[in-house]
Amino acid sequence: MKGRKIWANLSVKSATRTRQFYTALGCKPNPFNDMPQLASFSFGDDDFVIHFFEQGSQIDEYLPAGTLKSSEVIFTLSAESEQEVKEWESNVKAAGGTILHEAARDKAGYFILVFADPDGHKFNVLLMDKMM
């Protein structure tokens, strides 16, 4: 069995706030989205879709709201330079996100930033210079 597409669905407190946050980061909103309780964005060169469903919508039965203390998944965004990672950090702070690990080299030597959106969904921005 092979799925034609894969995307992620996450729960958020406010689709409007989520839309504002990811728009401020420069993420690409999906044009097909006309549901007020859904914020939907494409990420990366492959246009990986993440749907953010507002609590009280059809996703509640299957998906709890995010939290800063735990996480089922962390999304990784690749960066091309340390400067790009630092720009993400600045943009996340300005948009109201929470920095969990400031832009710096980790113990393995990778340059990373870890942040959470306003609902606690986690992302890391990774410079993959140590992987090449």
109 Rama sector, left if φ>0, alpha if ψ -120 to 50, beta otherwise: left
Which CATH number among 3.10.180.10, 3.90.1200.10, 2.40.30.30, 3.40.190.10 corresponds to the domain 8-130? 3.10.180.10
52 and 39 Cβ atoms separated by less than 8 Å: yes
* pLDDT band at residue 29 using 50, 70 and 90 as cut-offs: very high
DSSP 37-73: TEEEEEETTTTEEEEEEETTSTTTTT-PBP-SS--S-
* pLDDT band at residue 80 using 50, 70 and 90 as cut-offs: very high
Distances (CA, A) of 56 to 20, 36, 38, 61: 19, 12, 11, 9
Tell me the Cα Rg of the chain.
15
Residue 94 corresponds to which amino acid? Answer: A
* pLDDT band at residue 118 using 50, 70 and 90 as cut-offs: very high
Centre a 10 Å sphere on the Cβ of residue 55 and count the other Cβ atoms it contains.
16
Give the rounded percent of residues in the chain with a pLDDT score beyond 90: 54
